[in-house]
Amino acid sequence: MLSIEWPMLVIAALLLVSVAASRASFRLGVPALLLFIGIGMLAGSEGPGGIHFDDAGIAQAFGSVALMVILFSGGLDSDWTAFRPVVWRGLALANVGVSLSALLVGAFATLALGFAPLEGLLLGAIISSTDAAAVFSVMRTREVNLHEGLEALIELESGSNDPIAIFLTIGLTGILQAPDRALWQLIPAFVLQMSIGAAAGLAMGRLAGVTINRVRLNLEGLYPALALGIMLLTFSGTALLGGNGFLAVYVAGIVIGNTDIVHKRSLLRFCDGLAWLMQIAMFLMLGLLVFPSQLAPVASDGLLVALFLMFVSRPLSVVIALARSRFSLAARLMVAWAGLRGAVPIILATFPLLAGIPSAGTIFNLVFFIVLASVLVQGTSIAAVAQWLGVNRPGGGEMRFPQEFVPQVGLASRLAEVTVAPHAPAVGRALVELGLPRGALVVLITRNGDGLVPGGGTVFAAGDRVLFLLDAGALEIVRRTFSAAPAGPPE
C-alpha cells in the first residue's frame, strides 16, 4: 500500500513555513511572493530540501488552475464603481501597453542579446503582462492607497492583461514550430478569443448571480462549492467554445462580486483563502522547478532585460497607452512602476519549453531571473515610489466591513420599525432579492416573539416586524415594499 504520510508531512511543512514567511514579509519589507519562491528553491533538488521536481507540464497545468482561481477571486473583490471611470484606460493598458512592451523587449533582446527576431519577441510576450497575483498581493498589503483612480486602473490592468500575453506566447510558440504561419494571422484569432471570453464571462456572471440567490441551499457551506463549480464551468466552457477562459473567469468574478447575493461575505472569504493557497502552492512549485545553478550564466543578460523592462519598455508603453488620458505624468509613472511580474511569466515560459523550442531553456531561466528582479526591486519600493511621486493618499484605504449586506448608512440614519403586510411585495422573498436602497439596513426581524439577525438569504413572512436603520430618502421605498405604512416614525 502506498504510504502518503511522508508526502503529506512535507507539504504541511512547506505550507506552514510559507504562512509564517508571509507574516515575516510585513516586518522585513519583502513581498511574500518572493519568500514563497525562495522557500521552493531551498526545498528543491539543489537546496537543503533535496526535492527533485522538473516536470514543466505539471507546473504549467497547476499554474493555469491557480491563475484561474486568483483571477476569479480578484474579480469578486473588485468594485465596479471604481473600475467604471477607468475601464477603457485599463483595456488600453492591457492590450496596447502589453503589445508595445513585448515589441520593445523583443527588439532589445534581438539587438543586445543576439536572439532571433521571433525568439526575442517570444521573450517579450512572456514577460509583457503584469501579474495579477503579485499586484493584488502587494497593492493590498503594502500600505499603498493611490488616488486619481490609479489603484483601480492598476488592478484592472493586471487582471485583464494576462489573456493577451497568454495568447501571444502560445501563438508565437506555434509560429516557431511551424514557420510557414504568418504573424498577422494571430490578429483575427485574438479578437475572436477575447470577444468570446468577455461575452461568456458576462453571461455566466449574471446567470451565477441569479442561480446563487434562487437555489436556496439548506447549508451555508454548500455555497462556496457552488461558486467553485461556476468558476470551473465558466473557464472550461469558454475554452471549449474557443474563447479565453482566463478573461471569462475574471469578468464573471467582477459581475458576481458587484451583485447582491446571499452569503456574499462568506464566499469572498472562501475565495480569498483559496486564492492565497493557490499563490503559495504555485510559487513553491515554480521555486522547485528552477535550478539555481542555471541562473548564474544568464544573470548578466537577465539583469539587462529587467532594467530595460522596468525603466524603458514598461514606462514608454504606459505613457503611450495613456496618451489621451487625464492622468498626470506622475500618475503614469506610478502605473509603470506598479507593473510587477510574478508567476504568470514563469508559467508562460513553460510553453516553449514543452514545445521543444531550441532557446526555451535560456528563455525560461531569463524569465525566472527577471521575475525575481521585478518582485525584489518594484515590490519592495512601490510604497516609497508612490510617496515620492505624490500619488499616495494619506490615512489608509477603503474600510472593509464584516457584514454580509452593507448599505450606505451614516450618522443621519434613523431607526424605524415596519410590520410586513400580508400582501406586501416582500412576502416570500429573500432580503437580497428586494433591491432595497443603499441607505437602508435591516437590523433585526422579530417573528413570533423571536429575534432574528438577518442575512442576505433571509425570507420575509407576513407579520414580521422589521427594524431598519435608514435615511429619509429610503423610507418611502421601504414603506412600499413592506407595508402600507411604517409601524412608527423614524426616531
Q: How far apart are CA 390 and CA 375, in angstroms?
A: 22
Task: Supply the DSSP string of 206-224, one letter for each residue.
Answer: HHHHHHHHHS--S-TTHHH
Dihedral over alpha carbons 189, 192, 194, 195 (to 10 degrees): 170
Query: Apex CA 378: angle with CA 150 and CA 274, to 5°?
Result: 75
Question: Is 104 within the bounds of a domain?
Answer: yes
Q: How far apart are CA 52 and CA 251, in angstroms?
A: 38
In this prediction, residue 28 carries a pLDDT of 64
User: Which neighbouring-strand residues pair with 446?
Assistant: 451, 465
Q: Clarify whether residues 108 and 206 are in a common domain.
A: yes
Q: Are 289 and 53 in contact (CB under 8 A)?
A: yes
Q: Clarify whether residues 375 and 419 are in a common domain.
A: no
In this prediction, residue 217 carries a pLDDT of 83
Model pTM?
A: 0.77
In this prediction, residue 137 carries a pLDDT of 66
In this prediction, residue 138 carries a pLDDT of 67
Dihedral over alpha carbons 264, 265, 268, 274 (to 10 degrees): -120
Domain end residue (candidates: 337, 354, 389): 389
Dihedral over alpha carbons 412, 413, 415, 419 (to 10 degrees): 140
Q: Clarify whether residues 55 and 198 are in a common domain.
A: yes
Question: Is 240 within the bounds of a domain?
Answer: yes
CA-based torsion, 483, 484, 486, 487: positive or negative = negative
Q: How far apart are CA 374 and CA 266, in angstroms?
A: 34
Q: Residue 30, Cα to own-chain centre: how many angstroms? A: 20
Q: How far apart are CA 456 and CA 453, in angstroms?
A: 10
In this prediction, residue 21 carries a pLDDT of 85
CB-facing half-sphere around the CA of 379: CA atoms within 13 A: 30
Q: How far apart are CA 332 and CA 321, in angstroms?
A: 10
What are the phi and psi torsion angles at 490 (to 5°)? -60, 140
User: H helices then E strands: how many in the chain?
Assistant: 20, 4
C-alpha cell at 161: 492583461
pLDDT tens by residue, the chain, 491 residues: 557 888 899 889 999 999 888 877 766 666 777 888 899 999 988 888 889 888 999 999 998 999 899 889 988 988 888 788 888 998 899 889 999 999 999 999 999 999 999 999 999 999 998 876 666 666 665 566 777 678 888 888 887 888 888 889 988 998 998 877 777 777 888 889 999 999 999 999 999 999 988 887 878 889 999 999 999 999 999 999 999 999 999 999 999 999 888 888 888 889 989 988 998 998 899 899 988 888 889 999 999 999 999 999 999 999 999 988 888 899 999 999 988 888 889 999 999 999 989 899 999 999 999 999 988 888 888 878 888 888 877 544 444 444 444 455 555 567 778 888 888 888 888 887 787 777 677 888 888 877 777 877 788 888 888 888 777 677 778 878 887 544 444 44
Smallest CA-to-CA distance from 199 within 124, 161, 143, 255 is with: 255
The structural domain count of the chain equals 2
Question: Is 284 within the bounds of a domain?
Answer: yes
Helical spans, DSSP H, in 241-313: 245-257, 264-289, 299-308
In this prediction, residue 491 carries a pLDDT of 43
Question: Is 398 within the bounds of a domain?
Answer: no
Question: Is 282 within the bounds of a domain?
Answer: yes
Q: Residue 437's domain is classified under what CATH number?
A: 3.30.70.1450
Structural domain including 176 reads 5-389
Question: Is 405 within the bounds of a domain?
Answer: no
Q: Clarify whether residues 111 and 249 are in a common domain.
A: yes
Q: How far apart are CA 372 and CA 14, in angstroms?
A: 20
Q: Residue 145's domain is classified under what CATH number?
A: 1.20.1530.20
Q: Clarify whether residues 356 and 214 are in a common domain.
A: yes
In this prediction, residue 114 carries a pLDDT of 92
Q: Clarify whether residues 444 and 304 are in a common domain.
A: no
